[in-house]
Chains A and B, each alone.
Chain A
Amino acid sequence: MNKIAIRSKTATRVGAGSVGFLGVFYRSTVGKKIIMAVTGAIGVGFVIVHLSLNLLAYAGASSMNDVDRLLKSTGGWLWLARAVLITAVVVHVIIAWQLLRTSRASRPVDYQHWEPVGSTFASRTMRWTGVMLLLFIPLHVLHLASGTLHPDFVADDVYHNVVSAFRVWYVSALYILAMGILGLHVFHGSWSMFQSVGFNHPRYRGWIRHLATLVTLVVVLGFISIPIAVLLGILS
């Protein structure tokens, strides 16, 4: 009885060619990983752009605020970029959830003892760092973008908002911690996204790990340098 149920479920899942090639792609774990890679790449791209704007703080208050004004003056384009980014995050999270369920279901009885021999701390904590980033993002938007959680928020004065926020040591500590978590997620993600899309050229594949390390170091060190600079009084 049970066996028949399993069979009919399998048959409907296959759908006998009714789903088309996009359906086959989307339903497969390989296709889902490719979508994870593309949406993740959009995220990494955003993080790098965000970092380059943050580093303008070292050029002084006026240049940072000028670029902020320039971005806001694009109006629709800014919202288009935001829409792409939000869509990418939502799709990334939904598919991560689907894949997590598939993987959990594949091992109903767990090992009493399991020893990691090939994985990294970053790879094993991908889901946890992902959830933590998902909690950090709204907090960060409410804090430094909308100002809702900022006690001394001045509209259109980004430099002031950043510096006054990071003068509070625990706000800086929270951001530094969050950037460490982002670093772990970006390290494994920016390496494995190349694997997911099948980038397998023997001449270049050895460099992907180095590229991921470089991107991670730049992102983490770049971001945390700002709260540290504020705390040390370099930015004021």
Chain B
Amino acid sequence: MNFTLCIWRQKDARSPGRMMTYDAKDVSPDMSFLEMLDVLNEKLIGSNDEPIAFDSDCREGICGTCSMMINGIAHGPRRGTTTCQLYMRHFKNGDILRIEPWRNKAFPVIKDLVVDRTALDRIVQSGGFISTRAGSAPEANGILVSKFDADSAMDAAACIGCGACVAACPNGSAALFTGAKLTHLALMPQGQPERSRRAIKMVTAMDQADFGNCTMHRECEAVCPAEISVTVIVQMNWEFLRASFLEREIITPSVSQSEIKTLPRSNDATT
């Protein structure tokens, strides 16, 4: 198979980028999208050109590292699929493939297709955890959870943190990501002690990280490789409303100067 690739090339965070055109010839239909780029990179290295920088790790769809917009859709045209699990047979011979990095103020481009997604880590660091008894593993049935809640929490916990939801959102909102993390913990008994605190802290952290706001376009749900439903956003809204007005304790997100400094700003990673 032969393809024409238009790929965003950007030397570093400070340089302006532009689309460059490459030809991918004799591509095997059984290559993954990333393998096709690997072959292109070998060719670029062979001719002393700079290879295309892109993120990848497990290449089996579970780590959430690969991240690119393919023909205007995060992770490409197949639903419930990461870029690494997208195969060239899913395209037509002769297709033009436009490849761009995730675009968001909170996701600055490091190089070419690689972006810094530390902003998502900052949201999790602000409250995406539980307090638990340390020591040996507890008895599995020590705390009983209804099947329905366990399943719903598990659906939310399927989030791999790739950031496709943010990339696809016309508003650049991280509501699906934050909602998934909040829903996952709010539905479990282990998540109750910090439930309200977590909602306030994580929503505030999300807003501070320069993400946009959710207007329920549902683009995130359509591109999510873990197929997480927008109901997690609805759950997030409820958690926030509940924490703001129904919780007995008044919770205000006071983030101290020192706390902010321990979390690296996106610019730091590039230097």
Could you list which residues of chain A lie within 8 angstroms of chain B, going by C-beta atoms? Answer: 2-3, 6-7, 10-11, 13-14, 16-17, 19-21, 23-25, 27-34, 99, 102-120, 123-124, 126, 188, 191-192, 194-200, 202, 205
Chain A binder among B27-35, B137-145, B260-268:
B260-268
Is A118 in contact with B237, judged by CB distance below 8 angstroms? Answer: no
The residue in B168, B237, B256, B268 that gathers the most chain A C-beta atoms within 10 A of its C-beta is B237
B237→A195 contact, CB < 8 A: yes
Give Cα A91–Cα B48 distance, bound, in whole angstroms: 59
Tell me whether B161 is interfacial, beta carbon within 8 Å: no
B125 at the interface (CB under 8 A from A): no
Least CB distance from B163 to A in Å reads 13
Contact at B208–A10, with CB atoms within 8 Å? yes
A103 touching B172 by the CB < 8 A rule? yes
Given contacts A19-B252, A33-B237, A118-B218, whether A113 and B98 have CB atoms under 8 Å apart is: yes
Q: Does B253 contact A (CB under 8 A)?
A: yes
Given contacts A116-B219, A118-B219, contact A32 B213 (CB under 8 A): yes
Query: B214: which of A25, A29, A114 is its contact (CB, 8 Å)?
Result: A29
Query: Roughly how many angstroms separate A117 CA and B106 CA in the complex, as a whole number?
Result: 23
Check B240–A28 contact: CB distance below 8 A: yes
A-B contact pairs, 8 of them (CB 8 A): A10-B208, A29-B213, A33-B214, A104-B212, A107-B212, A114-B170, A123-B217, A195-B230
Chain B proximity of A179: nearest CB distance (Å): 22
Contact assessment for A198 and B103 in the assembled complex, using a CB-CB cutoff below 8 Å: no
Interface residues of chain B, those whose CB is within 8 Å of chain A, are 8, 19, 69, 71-73, 98, 100, 103-106, 168, 170-173, 200, 203-204, 206-208, 210-223, 230-231, 233-242, 244-245, 250-257, 260-261, 265, 267-268
B53–chain A nearest beta-carbon distance, Å: 17
B260 touches A7 (CB 8 A): yes
**Residue of A23, A31, A105, A115 touching B73 (CB-CB under 8 A):** A115
In the complex, which residues of chain B have a beta carbon less than 8 angstroms from the beta carbon of A10? 208, 255, 260
A106 touching B69 in the complex, CB below 8 Å, given contacts A117-B219, A195-B234? no
Within the complex, which residue of B203, B215, B244 is in contact with A21, where a contact is CB–CB below 8 Å? B244
A111 & B103 in contact (Cβ 8 Å cutoff):
yes
Contacts of A114 in B (CB 8 A): 69, 72, 170
B237 touches A106 (CB 8 A): no
- The CA of A105 and the CA of B208, in the complex, are separated in Å by 12
Tell me the complex Cα distance, A102–B108, Å.
Answer: 17
Name the residue on B nearest A104 (C-beta): B212
Chain B contacts of A31 at CB under 8 A?
240, 244
Contact of A199 among B204, B215, B234, B253 (CB under 8 A): B234
Q: Are B252 and A20 in contact (CB under 8 A)?
A: yes
Centre residue among A13, A118, A120, A198 by max chain B CB count within 10 A: A118
The answer to whether B216 touches A195 (Cβ under 8 A) is: yes
A108 to B107, CA, bound (A): 11
A200 & B216 in contact (Cβ 8 Å cutoff): no
Question: How close is A89's CB to chain B, nearest CB, in angstroms?
Answer: 18
Q: How far is the CB of A107 from chain B (nearest CB, A)?
A: 4
Q: Return B113 CB to nearest CB of chain A, in Å.
A: 13
User: Do residues A24 and B244 form an inter-chain contact, with CB atoms below 8 A?
Assistant: yes
Say yes or no: A119-B219 contact (C-beta < 8 A), given A25-B244, A106-B105, A106-B173.
yes
Partner pick for B212 among A106, A126, A188, CB 8 A cutoff: A106
Identity of the chain B residue whose Cβ is nearest the Cβ of A194 in the assembled complex: B234
A20 and B210 CA atoms in complex are apart in Å by 22
Known: A24-B252, A106-B171. A111 touches B241 (CB 8 A): no
Q: Is the CB of A14 within 8 A of B208?
A: yes
Known: A106-B172, A115-B71, A123-B215. A205 touches B231 (CB 8 A): yes
Q: Which of B98, B213, B216, B236 contacts A103 (CB 8 A)?
A: B213
Residues on A with C-beta less than 8 A from B238 are 197-200
Return the contact of B200 from the options A24, A115, A120, A200 (Cβ within 8 A): A24
Q: Which B residues lie within 8 Å of A20 (CB)?
A: 250, 252
Contacts of B69 in A (CB 8 A): 111, 113-114
State how many angstroms separate the Cβ of B147 from the closest Cβ of chain A: 13
Is B207 in contact with A27, judged by CB distance below 8 angstroms?
A: yes
* In contact, B257 and A124 (Cβ under 8 angstroms): no
User: Which residues of chain A come closer than 8 Å to B100, judged between CB atoms?
Assistant: 111-113
In the complex, the chain A residue whose C-beta lies closest to that of B229 is: A205
Q: How far is the CB of B196 from chain A (nearest CB, A)?
A: 11
